[in-house]
Amino acid sequence: MQMPEPSQAIMNQREALAVALRQIVGQEWVISDEAERRPYQCDGITAYMAMPLLVVLPGSAAEVQQILRFCHERGVKVVPRGSGTSLSGGALPLEDGILLVTSRLCNVLEVDAPNRVARVQPGVPNIKISEAVQHLGLCYMPDPSSQLISTIGGNVAENAGGVHCLKYGVTANHILGLEAVLMTGEIIRLGGAYLGAAEGEMDLMGVLTGSEGLLAMVTEIAVRLEPVPEVARVISMSFPSVEEACACVGAIVGAGIIPAGLEFMDRKVLDAVSVLIRETFDSNTAALLLCELDGTAVEVDALVDVVSDVARNQGAIETKVSTTEEERQRIWSSRKLAFSAIGKLCPDYYCTDGTIPRNKLPEVLNKMADMSVKYGLDYANCFHAGDGNLHPIIMYDAAKPGDLEKAEAFGADVLIACVDAGGVLSGEHGVGVEKRDLMTHQFTDIDLNQQQMVKCAFDPAELLNPGKVFPTACRCAEFGRMHVRNGAIRFPDIPRF
Amino acid sequence: MQMPEPSQAIMNQREALAVALRQIVGQEWVISDEAERRPYQCDGITAYMAMPLLVVLPGSAAEVQQILRFCHERGVKVVPRGSGTSLSGGALPLEDGILLVTSRLCNVLEVDAPNRVARVQPGVPNIKISEAVQHLGLCYMPDPSSQLISTIGGNVAENAGGVHCLKYGVTANHILGLEAVLMTGEIIRLGGAYLGAAEGEMDLMGVLTGSEGLLAMVTEIAVRLEPVPEVARVISMSFPSVEEACACVGAIVGAGIIPAGLEFMDRKVLDAVSVLIRETFDSNTAALLLCELDGTAVEVDALVDVVSDVARNQGAIETKVSTTEEERQRIWSSRKLAFSAIGKLCPDYYCTDGTIPRNKLPEVLNKMADMSVKYGLDYANCFHAGDGNLHPIIMYDAAKPGDLEKAEAFGADVLIACVDAGGVLSGEHGVGVEKRDLMTHQFTDIDLNQQQMVKCAFDPAELLNPGKVFPTACRCAEFGRMHVRNGAIRFPDIPRF
């Protein structure tokens, strides 16, 4: 992984910058002490680490404005960070950049039940939004696995998904308005606090959502609230082969049903999980699907019958349907514990994500088996089958020299196989640093250039989260203008910890 | 309405340009004859007219590439056009620009039923997509009133809505991939031909959707297909006052129901329509709501009961529910004929669109009554109540001096009232030239500047549909760089026909 060479000149100014930034946010909200900066040196991918120049915790949008204006004037880089659960290195600090952490911007500002919207600050953990509105029978739908910890600001930056995004859509489908601070310190307001508020304006809100902190620092978010579905039931379906399970995924959607969630677990995951949940799975089961259906009671009952029929026709060995909420939770626990369970099988694991058309699932899963042999590393599969979003879990031992590199190469091969199958590099984890150098495999130079033009339209000096997403530096700034369509500056190596 | 001063130098080259463009598209596909250009001089708003320099009808994306590259090199402006049904002047020609018409790019290229997607060319009329897939039980959901004529390319350019966009979302929610040609002639490909194909890339597809032809020329669109709902039923609900009808809109949504459509018609519309449909409405009815519910039969039956109860609690005089498809069509006919019916009451009418939070409906509707008195012009209301998307129909007589100007001023006052109520200038018609000069009322200079930065990141020479959407020219090109944040060049007047 290569990152831009840190600026020694900036690094030498650490204390002077700290003094200036403390005048904006107050003494205690700038962390310069090395030991106190250490907890911030990586995000959810611990393979990549760098110590931030300073950690700054603003308490208001006005402070964010002042910080960015100050950094813009001094040419200091800025990396935004929520809770640091990113799985692609999007919040990896820079040694010559400040880490701008949203922990103090953690208030639910307003709940407007009639218009079904909540205005929140970026540092609010995802789950806290639903908790704040559950007494109204409402919830915030997108549910990344990290939802207890990950912040809504980080969810916006990564356009986070989750089990229920098959039916309800990803973060972008649930954001009605954004307030964001540009690197110049100027505030832009996009959309608003009700459905339709973004009609008739250029969709900059969509561009910011999923832009991985490269365009602006979001300071307020208007999220869409939805009624909690009246009923949810889950069907567990076991299959004698991976192929039959994959075919069933297509058959369910082909029957006109978009389940609330449709998850796949292979035998390796089931074996690992059965230790934790103290339940065994039929020995003929090669793969299990969990299909959640929600809606009104009559609707769900009807859908349960259809899905059960489809599963039987597709060769399911067994189908189990939850009849109570407790049963539903118990059935889901196998999926929820999957990653912890795999963690007990190996010293370390590496999980990547790519998305493919649903009908390409068997092809790419078969390729993974070959890759496992090639790299001599074991793996397991537990993923969002309904939207073709793969999450291969590659097991390795970081203490073994070369093992991490092999795991990374395995992961890269999976992503390349996804792109070659007509898919994409990312489902919900973003590109960050992890997949950055694979972007040229998915996009043409023209496509990448156009994306970088838009980046430059927001941040021409490339001070916001540089070195992420794009494999080459944009040359716009160098030429003082846009539309330089050739040439590429390679980044030097970043030391690995 | 003001437009950029046309370039006489370019206008003098009409025949030379025609010769060169004919080498790209063939002799018959460049229209230079004045009489043959006349049908293209306006779009759905006939108040604004301009004769295009030339009309060019490319037959392939490769020809579009060559045309744009040629125009880019010569500095010739380009206005894209589908069927010309735009209601904001988005396809208004320029006297010194070619009109690039998609009529020949009218093929459904591929229907992929398992992945629920169709690949189509931009000139395909909206309704043709559903017709091409109806044998599979599928359809393309967004249904603008113009759907028999308007093209999918134009729908993408305007991010078109429709009656069913309350439940199913606008065009942007149904586009999975785009191929587009930049003004330089380069092709970009965004998203792809399956759900999730746009994950993990900067959302340029979202920016293109609704960009009103200012960023690139779309040459291929992958649209999402949905199963045709099993059952649809409509409830007609009459109310003794506008306020009670508006309150019922909020109460239905507040009951956790998002209807497939929720339309409002005032007494003036009902009186006009009753002549055409030969049916009378109860004399105590001041406003009528039409609420469509769709889904499985059991689900729809249950929802019909809930909505009927809500309506009665909100003071409905009468509720009628369709029991057959024929009845459903008959009930909807009043809404579908509304604009034709109003057309019979007056020589001319002017319809604008703005969107407001649902709970602001009574406030803005009351203001309209005052405006009607102020301008001495009659008006009627028939609109998408569920998403707060107003379509006031202002009646005037173009033959009366000053009447059009009064109608425009009335329309502008309505839009300003929408923005002042926390709403926006447009719901589904776009900004075009009609609302361009009102943009400063909705957006700050910083917001507008940022939108223009992004425009410049696609088309720095401002050759694609210039003079639309933004009230001032962007100064980026002038300075050869981005981020000029002050100053504004006013456009001179365009002659009105």
- One DSSP character per residue, B342-368 reads HHTTSSEEEE--EE--GGGHHHHHHHH
Please say if the pLDDT value at position A489 is more than 50: no
Does domain B8-101 bear CATH number 3.30.43.10? yes
Average pLDDT over residues B96-101: 98
Contacts of B172 in chain A (CB under 8 A): 203, 206
Question: Do the chains contact at B355 and A454, CB–CB below 8 Å?
Answer: no
Q: What average pLDDT does the structure give for chain A?
A: 91
Average pLDDT over residues B449-454: 91
Confidence of residue B205 (pLDDT cuts 50, 70, 90): very high
Q: What are phi and psi of B467, to 5 degrees?
A: 90, -5
pLDDT at A476: 61
Q: Are B426 and B352 in contact (CB under 8 A)?
A: no
Question: Which residues in chain A are classed under CATH 3.30.70.2190?
Answer: 231-335
Question: Do the chains contact at B202 and A454, CB–CB below 8 Å?
Answer: yes
Please say if the pLDDT value at position A390 is more than 90: yes
pLDDT at B1: 54
User: B346-437 in CATH: which number?
Assistant: 3.30.70.2740
Strands (E), B208-248: 217-224, 226-227, 231-239
Question: Which residues in chain B are classed under CATH 3.30.70.2190?
Answer: 231-340
Tokens of B96: 């010194």
Maximum Cα–Cα distance for chain B, whole Å? 70
SS3 (DSSP) at A410? helix
Please say if the pLDDT value at position A10 is more than 90: yes
According to DSSP H, which parts of B290-346 are helical? 297-313, 325-336, 338-343
Q: What average pLDDT does the structure give for chain B?
A: 91
Q: Are A416 and A441 in contact (CB under 8 A)?
A: yes
pLDDT at A2: 64
Q: Looking at per-residue confidence, does B476 or A72 come out higher? A: A72
What percent of chain B clears pLDDT 90, i.e. is strictly above it? 79
Phi-psi region of A470 (alpha: psi -120 to 50; beta: other; left: phi over 0): beta
Residue with tokens 């919830």: A139
Residue with tokens 């609302």: B435
Question: What CATH fold (topology level) applies to the domain B231-340?
Answer: Alpha-Beta Plaits (3.30.70)
Q: Looking at per-residue confidence, does B388 or A492 come out higher? A: B388
Contacts of A210 in chain B (CB under 8 A): 200, 202-203
Contacts of A423 in chain B (CB under 8 A): 197
pLDDT at A479: 43
CA distance A98 to chain B (A): 24
CA-closest candidate to residue B310, choices B265, B248, B360, B232: B248
CA-closest candidate to residue A456, choices A485, A493, A436: A485
Question: Do the chains contact at A388 and B196, CB–CB below 8 Å?
Answer: yes
Question: Which residues in chain A are classed under CATH 3.30.465.10?
Answer: 8-228
pLDDT at A3: 73
CA distance A469 to chain B (A): 9
Q: CATH assignment of A231-335, given 3.30.70.2190, 3.40.50.720, 3.90.1150.200, 3.50.50.60?
A: 3.30.70.2190
pLDDT at B47: 80
pLDDT at B475: 59
CA distance A351 to chain B (A): 16
DSSP assignments along A39-81, one per residue: GGS--S-TTS----SEEE--SSHHHHHHHHHHHHHHT-EEEEE
Average pLDDT over residues B19-37: 97
Question: Do the chains contact at A481 and B481, CB–CB below 8 Å?
Answer: yes
SS3 (DSSP) at A291? strand
State pLDDT tens for residues A109-129: 999 988 889 999 999 999 999
Question: Do the chains contact at B137 and A256, CB–CB below 8 Å?
Answer: yes
Distances (CA, A) of B287 to B117, B282, B399, B418: 39, 10, 31, 21
Phi-psi region of B4 (alpha: psi -120 to 50; beta: other; left: phi over 0): beta
Please tell me the class of the B108-227 domain.
Answer: alpha beta
ipTM of the complex: 0.85
How, if at all, do strands A318-321 and B217-224 pair? unpaired
Please say if the pLDDT value at position A357 is more than 50: yes
| Least confident piece of the model among A194-198, A295-299, B358-362, B399-403 | A194-198
Confidence of residue A63 (pLDDT cuts 50, 70, 90): very high
pLDDT at B2: 64
pLDDT at A1: 54
What percent of chain A clears pLDDT 90, i.e. is strictly above it? 79
Q: Alpha-carbon distance B44 to B433, whole Å?
A: 12
Question: Do the chains contact at B450 and A204, CB–CB below 8 Å?
Answer: yes
| A&B contacts, CB < 8 Å | 229
Contacts of A422 in chain B (CB under 8 A): 192-194
Please tell me the class of the A8-228 domain.
Answer: alpha beta
Q: Alpha-carbon distance A198 to A180, whole Å?
A: 15
Chain A contact probe: residue of B202, B217, B228, B262 with most A CBs at under 10 A: B202
What percent of chain B clears pLDDT 70, i.e. is strictly above it? 95
pLDDT at A475: 59
Out of B256, B428, B456, closest to residue A227 by CB: B256
CA distance A452 to chain B (A): 9
CA-closest candidate to residue B458, choices A478, A188, A483, A477: A483
Question: Do the chains contact at B196 and A427, CB–CB below 8 Å?
Answer: yes
Confidence of residue B112 (pLDDT cuts 50, 70, 90): very high
Question: Which residues in chain B are classed under CATH 3.30.43.10?
Answer: 8-101
Chain B contact probe: residue of A65, A201, A262, A486 with most B CBs at under 10 A: A201
Out of B194, B454, B485, closest to residue A357 by CB: B194
Question: Do the chains contact at A424 and B201, CB–CB below 8 Å?
Answer: yes
Please say if the pLDDT value at position B181 is more than 60: yes
Q: Are A312 and A296 in contact (CB under 8 A)?
A: no
CA-closest candidate to residue A379, choices A418, A417, A406, A416: A406
Question: A13 - beta bridge partners?
Answer: none
Q: Looking at per-residue confidence, does B206 or A45 come out higher? A: B206
Question: Do the chains contact at B199 and A159, CB–CB below 8 Å?
Answer: yes
Q: Alpha-carbon distance B435 to B221, whole Å?
A: 27
Please say if the pLDDT value at position B51 is more than 70: yes
Question: Do the chains contact at B358 and A114, CB–CB below 8 Å?
Answer: yes
State pLDDT tens for residues A117-163: 999 999 999 999 999 999 999 999 999 989 999 999 999 999 999 99
Please say if the pLDDT value at position A460 is more than 50: yes
- Contacting residues for B297 by C-beta, under 8 A, at least 6 apart: B230, B231
Out of B298, B424, B454, closest to residue A199 by CB: B424
Question: Which residues in chain B are classed under CATH 3.30.465.10?
Answer: 108-227
Question: Do the chains contact at B355 and A389, CB–CB below 8 Å?
Answer: no
State pLDDT tens for residues A239-256: 999 999 999 999 998 888
| Least confident piece of the model among B39-48, B123-132, B233-242 | B39-48
Q: Alpha-carbon distance B214 to B469, whole Å?
A: 9
Question: Do the chains contact at B451 and A201, CB–CB below 8 Å?
Answer: yes
Distances (CA, A) of B266 to B155, B208, B262, B293: 28, 36, 14, 21
Q: Alpha-carbon distance B124 to B28, whole Å?
A: 21
Helices A403-420, A361-375: axis angle to 10 degrees equals: 160
**Residue type at B226 in one-letter notation:** E
Chain A contact probe: residue of B72, B138, B201, B300 with most A CBs at under 10 A: B201
Confidence of residue B299 (pLDDT cuts 50, 70, 90): confident
SS3 (DSSP) at A456? helix
Q: Alpha-carbon distance B107 to B111, whole Å?
A: 11
Chain B contact probe: residue of A156, A159, A168, A202 with most B CBs at under 10 A: A202
State pLDDT tens for residues B442-451: 999 899 989 9
Contacts of A200 in chain B (CB under 8 A): 210, 355, 424-427, 430-431, 435
Out of B196, B202, B253, closest to residue A211 by CB: B202
Q: Are A415 and A432 in contact (CB under 8 A)?
A: no
State pLDDT tens for residues A394-442: 999 989 999 999 999 999 999 999 999 999 998 889 999 999 999 999 9
CA-closest candidate to residue A51, choices A87, A19, A14, A85: A14
pLDDT at B252: 95
Confidence of residue B38 (pLDDT cuts 50, 70, 90): very high
CA distance A379 to chain B (A): 24
Question: Which residues in chain B are classed under CATH 3.30.70.2740?
Answer: 346-437
